[in-house]
A and B are shown apart, each in its own frame.
Chain A
Amino acid sequence: MNITLSVFMALPEGERIRNKPLTLKKGSTVANAVDLFHISDEWVWMYVLNHRQVVQRKDVLSEGDHLMVFPPMEGG
C-alpha cells in the first residue's frame, strides 16, 4: 500500500518529511506510519488524512492516502 506523509515540523535531528512516499503493509495505521520516524504523539496536535479528515493513531490507512501531521501552532 502506498501513501504520502507530510510532517509540518522538523524532527529532533533536523530531518524534514514533506510529501514523502511510503510503502506500508495493507491495514497499516496512522501509528505504523509515524512510528517509522519516531514521531512522538507528544509533539502532535492533529493527524489529518487527505487535507480535511482528522484521524487518530489507531485509524487504518488506505491506498493513496496523504497523511499530514501538524504540531501545536499559533496564529499566522
Chain B
Amino acid sequence: MMYGSNGKLLRINLSNGNITTETLPQAFYRKYFGGRGMIAAILLKELAPGIDPLGPENKLVFATGILSGNPIPGTGRHSIGAKSPITGGYGDGEAGGFWGTELKRAGFDLVIVEGKSEVPVYIAIKDGEATIKNAEHLWGKHTGEVQQLLQRDEGKVRVAQIGPAGENLVKYACVVHDLEHFVGRSGIGAVMGSKNLRAVTVAGSKSPQLHDSEAVKELTRYMGQHYQTLASNIYENGTLMVLPALNAAGGLPTRNFQEGQFEEAEKFFPQTVREAYMTSRAGCYACPIRCGMNVKGGGPFDVDPQYKGPEYETVASFGSNLGVSDMEVIQKANELCNAYGLDTIATGICLSFVTEAFEKGLIGTKETHGKTLAFGDPGFLEVITDIAHRKDLGAVLAEGTRSAAEVWGNNTLPLAMQVKGQEMPLHEARLKQGLGLGYAMSPTGADHTHNLHDTLYIKETPAFKDLQALGYQEELLSPTTLDEKKVRLYHYGSFSRYLADCLVTCFFVPWNVSQLQQLIQGVTGWNTTTAEMMAVSERSIVNARRFNLREGLSQEDDVLCPRFHQPFESGPLKGTAIDEDAFFQSRNTYYQLMGWDEEGVPTKGSLARLGLMEEE
C-alpha cells in the first residue's frame, strides 16, 4: 500500500476529449518525490524532440509531491511544467496556495494535459472525476471576473487559470491561482493558452492516508509553536524583508540593474508598506507564517484589492528597477499583471530594458510607437496593457527582452537582463556571485528559487548547518567571491533547493533536513536518508539538463548577461563585477563536480549512478 499519495495520474487530451486515469508505481514516487523531479522525467519521456512549445504536441504537467495534501506547513504548493516557449527547453514554475492540496484531496497526484481544444475550454476536477467544459464565455475576461464566474458555476473550488495574456500567447504569461498565487516563470501560461485551456478547477474532500499520523502531527505542532522565532523575519515582514538589506549592501536592482542602491528605497521598507496598505495577512494551506498581504486598494490609481499586495520581486521589478518610488504605481502594476495573467518579474524587466534603451537613444519613438519612456515615469502602466494585448510596443515586448533586442538591434542586446531568454529575477549577481553561476546553470534560465543565495551562508545559520548535514564541510565564504569553493557551496545549496522543488515544499518554512526526513517517513513510511534525498534532487537537475541538450541548448547557453561582468560605477559595490575568467572556470568546475563532460553533457557514469540509464 502507498501512504501519503493516491498513486494516480489524470490524463486529459483536449484534441479528442479523452480522459483517463493511470496508476503509477510506488517506485516512481520514491525515485522522484514529485514536483520538478516528476515533471522532468515525464517531459523527457513523453515529448518528442523539437516540438513547438506552443503546438498541440507540448504537454502541461501539473504535479504535487509526496508530502502534499496533508496539513503540514509549507506543503501547500504545486508545480506546473512544459517545454518552455521562452527558453525552448525545460520549463516549470511553482505556486503556493491551496490548489495542489485540493488536487491531491481530489484523488490525483499529477495531471497531464495534452493536445489542443478547438474552442476555449476549462477542466473541472472533483473527487476522482474530470470534465471538459466550454469556456467561450470566459475568454477575454480578466482573471478576477473569471474567478467569480467559475466559483459561481462550480461551487467551492480552487481555480488555476490564465488571463488575456495567456490567451494571446504572451511568452511570459503566468498561471494565476485564486488570484493570489502564481506559476510565473517559464511561460507556462502561454502553453496553457496555446491549448485553448482557460482554467482548471479542483475540489477534493479526502486527504491521503498517512503512515504515521501522530509523528506528522508532532512535527507540525513543533513548527506551529516555533515559527515566529525560526522564521521571524519572513513572519514579520513578508518577502519584502530582503529589500532594506539588499539596498544597504548595494544589491537592490535599480534602473535595469545599472545601479544597486535606490535613493528612495525607504518607501518600500516592509513596515512602511505594511502599515500603509496591509489589511490582513494572506497565506497558503496549513501555513501559520502567512507571509502575503491583503491590501486596502483604492488610492489615486483605484487599485483593486482582490489581486492582493505585491511581493518583493514585484516591488523591486516595478519600483527600484524602473526608478519608481510611488507604492501606488507599483500596486497598480501588480493588479494589472495579475488581472491579465502576466509574470511580474518578466514584465518589469521588459519595461526596464526598453526604458534604458530609449533613454540611451538606442531606440526611438518609432520603436516605442510614439511613447516617451523614462525611469520614474508611471506611463509604463499603459504598456502593461499593451503587452497583454500584443498591441504596438507591447507586441514586441510580449516576446521578451532577447527577442526585442534581436528585432531592434543597435546594440540593445547587452541591456537585456536575461539568461536563456528568461528574464532576470530581482537579485543582483554581482552581490551574490554563486547565484550568478546558478543563473547560468539553471535549466530554466535566470531563476532565483532553485539557486544559491550566498548571503544566507555567510554565518553558521540553520541553513548553513543544513548544508553540512548534506555533506558540505567548508568554511564560510564572502558573497562576492566566485571560485572553486563557491562552486562547492553552490552545488550543495542548489541541491537543497532542488530537493524542496521535488518535495514541492516552501523554503520559507524552516524545516531542517532531519525534520524533512521525519516528515517523509511519517507520511510515506519510507526510511529515507540524506543520500537518497540528494539523489532525488540530482535526478531532477540531470533530467532537465538532458531535456535541454536534446532540444539544442548547449554550453553556449550556460552564460550570464554581460552587465554582470561589468563593475558597478557607484554605490557600496563600486568596482565589483563577476570576473569572466573566474566564471568560466567555475562553470567547468561545476560540470566536473556533477560528473558531466567538458561540454556539460552528463556522462554515462553519472546517469548510471542515479539510475537513469534505462531512460536513455
Q: Is B293 an interface residue (CB 8 A)?
A: no
Closest residue of chain B to A51 (Cβ to Cβ) is B266
Q: Is B242 an interface residue (CB 8 A)?
A: yes
Docked-complex contact A72 and B242, CB < 8 angstroms = no
In angstroms, how far is the closest chain B Cβ from the Cβ of A71? Answer: 7
Residues of B within 8 A of A12 (CB): 229
Residue of A19, A54, A75 near B448 (CB, 8 A) is A75
In angstroms, how far is the closest chain A Cβ from the Cβ of B186? Answer: 17
Q: Is B461 an interface residue (CB 8 A)?
A: yes
Tally of chain A residues near chain B (CB < 8 A): 26
Docked-complex contact A76 and B248, CB < 8 angstroms = no
Closest residue of chain A to B493 (Cβ to Cβ) is A74
Distance of A73 Cα from B449 Cα, bound (Å): 13
Distance of A70 Cα from B449 Cα, bound (Å): 21
Residues of B within 8 A of A16 (CB): 232, 236
Q: Can you list, as one digit per residue, whether each of B214-249 has a CB less than 8 Å from chain A (1) or not (0)?
A: 000000000000001100110011011111110111
Q: Is B154 an interface residue (CB 8 A)?
A: no
Residues of B within 8 A of A42 (CB): 459-460
* Given A48-B248, A70-B245, A76-B459 contact (CB < 8 Å): no
Residues of B within 8 A of A44 (CB): 459
* Given A45-B455, A51-B248, A74-B463 contact (CB < 8 Å): yes
Docked-complex contact A75 and B242, CB < 8 angstroms = yes
In angstroms, how far is the closest chain B Cβ from the Cβ of A8? Answer: 5
Closest residue of chain B to A55 (Cβ to Cβ) is B248
Q: Which of A52, A54, A74 has the most CB of B within 10 A?
A: A74
Q: Is B442 an interface residue (CB 8 A)?
A: no
Docked-complex contact B271 and A18, CB < 8 angstroms = yes
Residues of A within 8 A of B453 (CB): 73-75
A-B contact count (CB 8 A): 92
Q: Is A46 an interface residue (CB 8 A)?
A: yes
Tally of chain B residues near chain A (CB < 8 A): 40
Docked-complex contact B247 and A51, CB < 8 angstroms = yes
Distance of A54 Cα from B313 Cα, bound (Å): 23
Distance of A15 Cα from B425 Cα, bound (Å): 33
* Given A52-B261, A75-B425, A75-B427, A46-B248 contact (CB < 8 Å): yes
Distance of A16 Cα from B449 Cα, bound (Å): 28
- Cβ < 8 Å to B, chain A residues 17-76: 18-19, 42-46, 48, 51-54, 68, 70-76
In angstroms, how far is the closest chain A Cβ from the Cβ of B234? Answer: 9
Q: Is B458 an interface residue (CB 8 A)?
A: yes
Docked-complex contact A10 and B247, CB < 8 angstroms = no
Docked-complex contact B233 and A8, CB < 8 angstroms = yes
Residues of B within 8 A of A51 (CB): 244, 247-248, 265-266, 269
Distance of A8 Cα from B247 Cα, bound (Å): 14
Distance of A76 Cα from B238 Cα, bound (Å): 8
* Given A72-B461, A74-B507, A75-B451, A46-B249 contact (CB < 8 Å): yes
Closest residue of chain A to B247 (Cβ to Cβ) is A52
In angstroms, how far is the closest chain B Cβ from the Cβ of A18? Answer: 7
Q: Which of B247, B249, B312 has the most CB of A within 10 A?
A: B249
Docked-complex contact B249 and A14, CB < 8 angstroms = no
Q: Is B498 an interface residue (CB 8 A)?
A: no
Residues of A within 8 A of B242 (CB): 73-76
Closest residue of chain B to A76 (Cβ to Cβ) is B312
Residues of A within 8 A of B455 (CB): 45, 72-74
- Given contacts A8-B241, A10-B228, 16 further A-B pairs with CB under 8 A are A8-B233, A9-B232, A43-B459, A45-B455, A45-B458, A46-B248, A48-B248, A52-B247, A72-B459, A73-B241, A74-B453, A74-B507, A75-B451, A76-B240, A76-B242, A76-B313
What residues of chain A have their CB less than 8 Å away from a CB belonging to chain B?
A: 8-10, 12, 14, 16, 18-19, 42-46, 48, 51-54, 68, 70-76
Q: List 6 A-B contacts (CB under 8 A).
A: A8-B236, A42-B459, A51-B248, A70-B245, A75-B427, A76-B313
